[in-house]
Structure 1
């Protein structure tokens, strides 16, 4: 087939795409057992994908090898709290109660927060919104047009759905290092329809908790800047042995890192212990899913920056206590 054309293919879906050809950032795969279709979601941007506003794209595959698409499943609408020209990050689609829920981080750079820039990064409205559809192919409609799940005073991103052992829905998310300096992973319980927070946020752990990110081993920041600890891309899974583990990402010596943590109590509240990273090589914001024959896979992107970033698949072993790459 012709070479992948990132500037036009959102308006001209095709078959036969390979992961190595598709610009991807924060990839997420939903395996729909009813149709035996894998849905691969990624953000849509005007300059990269030929769309007129930021949103979410999906590709479809029956075998994880060849992909059809992209199709636009969500576009940031006018008249909502977010700006359609300011980004749509880290889309995830979860089936819940017979419907499909999109978690996506939106922005409004025209609404600054208190505190001023840190290391040159401004603080503004940023948060995960939830949208719903009856189909994994969309279109998705925002549940709340006026606000993200976590209030505007907190600069948050990368929300993901977790159903606890009591059947209650939670959103785990990252509290942006731009605001906290030492980024955190937090969680908030959701209403049954996933439209809003139903509790106060709780802090699960801090970026600096990872022993491989100890400040003494990291290069000192340039003069006038502070040492920050990034928390990105949290996602929760339970192993065959009942362990609750979390994927998340950070930076080490300027490179993106895919790492993992485990709850010592087996509950969302933790405490959380940090395990050895899974993948380095400027790789991260990964997620786990199971194939239709029951095999665990990890998908992440590498390198960090678009348009060079691509999706990579890894075979994963469930040890009962954690997940690790198959050797």
Structure 2
């Protein structure tokens, strides 16, 4: 069945481009209610033009013995060493939220558990792990240490074993949410009684520009709601130091996005908007690639201003 993006409820959209077959695969948080109740799993949709989408295909369905049964979030699928690996966030009663690795021989799945539970620290509340392979071929997971535990959410980097099954060493601090000039403290009733301001970190995505420079998308809250900014690595490596851009890339009620490359080589941004369930949908916007960063194509900027 063919769908438009308006038909597909999805948060945290992630696109895997498959040049050999001329296709794009769309993954994301696809349960109707991702905040509570029994989780179904993750679905996948396929397209040749980023406009018309076929599916859904069941990318992941938990076995009866799987440790988590609610709040399945933010799946990303990466090709690595001839296989496809899904990084996804799970939680369970008595266990803290964390990112686990799943694997499949096919990009659409079905995916099965690969790591033995989350690779984020078991005593940390974490989410939104993403894969980054550095210039020496070493895999890292970049993830969020959540504001619910540390007030000022952070972005961390964790070395992984070459087979992606285990963490190596301890996580490395990259930056805190409040370092971004555009980020604002969360202002909702559930945080009013906290002793410190609360800043959110969501959805890191690391991207190597053609120039060799390294940037990171990540989301928080700004003056106009959920937003997404860019940090730039001054060393060109995942360890930074990371410098925050002054203004968000996307400012108005949308975020948790990633950068994809079209089949023709151009770049696009995808994110979900609005940020309220069950209305969130994936949106796509063209990007211009510069020496040190990316910017919205003028067409996308006009779209952003109309939503403001």
**Selected match of 1:224 from 193, 206, 209:** 193
CA shift, 1:253, in A, is 4.5
Structure 2: stretches of 5+ with no match in the other structure: 299-308
Alpha-carbon distance in structure 1 between the residues aligned to 2:84 and 2:7 = 28
Mapped pair 1:212 → 2:188: no
Change (3 A) 1:66 1:214: closer
Q: Secondary structure at the match of 1:23?
A: coil
Residues 105 and 128 of structure 1 are in contact (CA less than 8 Å); yes or no, is this contact kept in structure 2?
yes
**TM, length-normalised to structure 1:** 0.85
Partner of 2:134: 164
**Selected match of 2:280 from 309, 312, 317:** 309
Partner of 1:38: 24
Kindly report which structure 2 residues correspond to 1:1-327, keeping only aligned pairs within 5 A, or say none.
14-15=1-2, 17-45=3-31, 53-81=39-67, 83-84=68-69, 86-108=70-92, 110-111=93-94, 124-145=95-116, 147-213=117-183, 223-225=192-194, 226-253=196-223, 255-275=225-245, 276-327=247-298
Alpha-carbon distance in structure 1 between the residues aligned to 2:139 and 2:256 = 22
Residues 183 and 231 of structure 1 are in contact (CA less than 8 Å); yes or no, is this contact kept in structure 2?
yes
Change (3 A) 1:47 1:230: closer
CA shift, 1:132, in A, is 0.4
Q: Secondary structure at the match of 2:44?
A: strand
Alpha-carbon distance in structure 2 between the residues aligned to 1:161 and 1:300 = 18
Residues 229 and 250 of structure 1 are in contact (CA less than 8 Å); yes or no, is this contact kept in structure 2?
yes
Alpha-carbon distance in structure 1 between the residues aligned to 2:143 and 2:187 = 27
Residues 182 and 207 of structure 1 are in contact (CA less than 8 Å); yes or no, is this contact kept in structure 2?
yes
Give me the CA root mean square deviation: 2.0
Partner of 2:306: none
Alpha-carbon distance in structure 2 between the residues aligned to 1:251 and 1:163 = 28
Partner of 1:3: none
- Greater than 6 Å deviation, 4+ residue runs: 218-222
CA shift, 1:45, in A, is 2.0
Deviations 1:14-52 (CA, angstroms, capped at 9, x unpaired) = 12x11122111000000011211100002232658xx97
Residues 9 and 30 of structure 2 are in contact (CA less than 8 Å); yes or no, is this contact kept in structure 1?
no
Count matched residues.
293
Residues 46 and 52 of structure 1 are in contact (CA less than 8 Å); yes or no, is this contact kept in structure 2?
no
Residues 204 and 271 of structure 1 are in contact (CA less than 8 Å); yes or no, is this contact kept in structure 2?
yes
Residues 259 and 279 of structure 1 are in contact (CA less than 8 Å); yes or no, is this contact kept in structure 2?
yes
Residues 54 and 87 of structure 1 are in contact (CA less than 8 Å); yes or no, is this contact kept in structure 2?
no
Residues 184 and 221 of structure 2 are in contact (CA less than 8 Å); yes or no, is this contact kept in structure 1?
no
Q: Secondary structure at the match of 1:199?
A: strand
Residues 125 and 145 of structure 2 are in contact (CA less than 8 Å); yes or no, is this contact kept in structure 1?
yes
Alpha-carbon distance in structure 1 between the residues aligned to 2:27 and 2:188 = 36
Q: Secondary structure at the match of 1:287?
A: strand
Partner of 1:8: none
